[in-house]
Amino acid sequence: MQLSFGQQMKMSQQMKLAPRMIQSMEILQLPIMALKERIEQELSENPLLEEPVVETETPEAAGEAPADTGDLGEPAEARPEPIEKPLEQKELVVDSEHNNQEDFERLLNMPEDWQSEDDYTYSPRVSSNRISEDGERVHDAMSNLVARPQSLQDHLLEQFGFFSCAPEIREFAEYLIQNLDANGRLPGTLEKMIEDYGKPITADDAQAALSMIQRLDPPGVGARDLRECFLLQIGPHTPMRDVLITLITSHLEDLAENRLPVIERKTGYPLELIKEAREELQHLNPRPGRDFEAASSPNVVPDISIEQDASGKYAVRLEDEYTPRLNISRKYQQLLANGQADPQTKEYIKRKIESARWLIESIEQRYNTLKRVAQAIVDHQTAFLDKGPEFIVPLKMQQIADVVGVHVTTVSRAVDDKYVQTPRGIFALKRFFGGGTTTADGEEVAWDIIRIKLKEIVDKEDKNDPLSDDALVDELAKQGYQLARRTITKYRKALKIPSSRHRRAY
């Protein structure tokens, strides 16, 4: 099939657009700290891209005539704001014959006082009277950063260093420690670990290494299964020690299924004694390694803050203090203007100028798109911010896309992995989206509210006669929420609410 000239031109333009649009989408999808890393990478790779140096004294203050400084001394609010366009609508028309040649020639012929940074500068959108305040806030945040938390492996290796043992036992023990899973357990049998080790080690030496690991803190590490994990945490002075050992060794499944009468019949222990032992068992940690995993989780840095003005209206503000200002280097512009560059250098500078422009404009588009999407979400979820999560309303990304005037995939990229600081705490932007159901009165209710109501009903039920899933359906129906039993079961499991049999108190 032969394409017409017009179709070929259109395809050629689309192909030229593709890299730029791909970069814009990638930049939009990055959370704030990932964007900061991307900018730092680009600064290291593109010599034409730079951060302007802030001058402490202006020429006017020194009694001199203004020099050619671009926008380095210009206050943030004096720079023209970019035209806020939907991401898909910005510069979608490309002249196939243009190829940036006019921009390049204009750069060569520019006067010395040309304000290059006005066109190709990215800077955080903050007013001058907030610069000092934001700087102090960033300084405080950096001062309060904690050191990297110690991992489980670091914690165990540090303790193991105090043991005296043969080199081959120590080496194998360190191998086992490095291969413990997130729960602090061995990922397989000791025989399998010996096989995977790849070095000669006797079964006795391997067992000696494992036994030493199992004496380390936290109690329970190095276990091969849940039973061994619990047994390692029982010491000579543990309350109800003998009863606990019996229950863990032979009746752990019965305890999990709340079959206390079965345990009573098999062991001869009174029901009250079994209940007391079960309470003691709940003080043991089935996942001793998880405490270290939680401690090493990175802190969330919000991309957006929501502030409420005196009239009660919520407005969004992007946290851009983490991203530096960017502009195109004057040094290379002057190199071209003075005619000191050979053709090969000119072509290199031309490519780097284009790359810098793409990055700066992609960041500007990210700023505009994310701000408009976030504001549309906030406008839709005002009740959530005013009254709490139980007042969230059903919201789909297509609704926000229609308000902002972009494609739904743009909304998806804008909210992906982004967090917002609200008066009620930090939430993922995706938290504000979700489906819902219709009550008996015809009111649309978000699924989050259904989950809250379900938990309230279970919390108030009689534990001697807990509600079945069918009974939960009836209770929700009394409050106007008509739901199928399978839906209730799904949300009960999502909330980690046990079945009625497991919730029964004997």
Q: One digit per residue, pLDDT tens: the chain, 506 residues?
A: 555 545 554 444 444 456 777 888 888 888 888 888 888 888 888 888 887 665 544 544 444 444 443 333 333 343 334 434 444 433 333 333 344 444 444 433 433 333 343 444 444 444 444 434 444 444 444 434 444 567 889 889 988 888 889 999 999 999 999 999 989 999 889 999 998 888 899 999 999 999 999 999 999 999 999 999 999 999 888 899 999 999 999 999 998 888 899 999 999 999 999 999 999 998 999 999 887 765 444 567 888 999 888 888 899 888 776 666 788 887 877 777 777 778 888 888 888 888 888 888 888 899 999 999 999 999 988 888 888 777 788 888 899 999 999 999 899 999 988 998 888 888 888 888 876 666 555 566 677 777 888 888 888 888 888 889 898 888 888 888 888 888 888 888 888 888 888 888 76
pLDDT of residue 404: 92
Among candidate residues 294, 325, 340, the one where a domain is terminated: 294
Q: Respond yes or no on whether the N-terminal peptide bond of residue 66 is cis (omega within 30° of 0).
A: no
Q: Angle CA(378)–CA(380)–CA(383) in degrees, nearest 5?
A: 85
Q: What's the rounded Cα separation, in Å, for the pair 392 and 410?
A: 23
What token pair was written down for 20? 């730029």
**3-class DSSP assignment, residue 100:** coil
41: phi then psi, degrees, rounded to nearest 5: -65, -45
Cα–Cα distance list, 68 to 46, 115, 117, 128, 330 (Å)? 23, 8, 11, 21, 10
Q: Is 144 helix (H, G, I), strand (E, B) or coil?
A: coil
Pairing of strands 314-318, 304-308: antiparallel
Other Cβ atoms within 10 Å of 251 Cβ, number: 19
Contact 361, 353 (CB under 8 A): no
Q: Which of 248, 162, 261 is nearest to 212 (CA)?
A: 162
Domain of 443? 436-503
Is 275 among the domain residues? yes
Q: How many structural domains does the chain have? A: 2
Q: Which residues fall within 8 angstroms of residue 80, CB to CB, at 6 or more apart?
A: 118
Report the candidate in 13, 1, 144, 86 with the shortest Cα–Cα distance to residue 406.
86
Write the CB contacts of 227 (distance below 8 Å, at least 6 apart in sequence): 248, 249, 252
Residue appearing with tokens 């001199």: 64
Whether 427 and 310 have beta carbons less than 8 Å apart is answered as: no
Among residues 294, 323, 356, the one where a domain terminates is: 294
**Total length of the chain:** 506
Task: Specify if 98 maps to a domain.
Answer: no
Q: Using an 8 Å Cβ cutoff, are 168 and 206 in contact?
A: no
> Bridge partners of 434?
395
Determine the residue type at 203: A
What is the spatial distance between Cα 423 and Cα 353, in angstroms, rounded to a whole number? 42
Residues 209-216: contacts with CB within 8 Å, 24+ apart? 209/165, 209/169, 209/170, 209/172, 209/173, 209/176, 210/173, 210/176, 210/186, 212/160, 212/163, 212/165, 212/169, 212/173, 213/156, 213/160, 213/173, 213/176, 213/177, 216/156, 216/159, 216/160
Where are any strands of DSSP class E within 263-376? 304-308, 314-318, 326-328
Q: How far apart are CA 323 and CA 321, in angstroms?
A: 6
Is residue 90 included in any domain, yes or no? no
In a domain? residue 216: yes
Q: How far apart are CA 113 and CA 70, in angstroms?
A: 8
Q: Which two tokens stand for residue 250?
A: 């032979």
Q: Give 3-state DSSP helix, strand, coil % of the chain, rounded to 5.
A: 55, 5, 40
pTM flag (> 0.85): no
Q: How far is CA 266 from the centre of its chain?
A: 49
Residue 178 lies in a domain: yes
Sheet holding 326-328, edge to edge: 49-50, 326-328, 121-122
Q: 179 in helix, strand or coil? A: coil
| 45 in a structural domain | no
Place of tokens 């863990």: 248
Q: What is the pLDDT of residue 433?
A: 85
* 104: in domain: no
**Selection from 211, 209, 212, 228 nearest residue 288 by Cα:** 228
CATH code of the domain covering residue 450? 1.10.10.60
Label residue 170 left, alpha or beta by phi (over 0 means left) and psi (-120 to 50 means alpha). alpha
Q: How many angstroms separate the CA atoms of 133 and 136, rounded?
A: 5
In a domain, 209, yes or no: yes
- Domain end among 241, 266, 294: 294
Are the C-beta atoms of residues 159 and 215 closer than 8 Å to each other?
Answer: no
CA 345/CA 11 separation, integer angstroms = 31
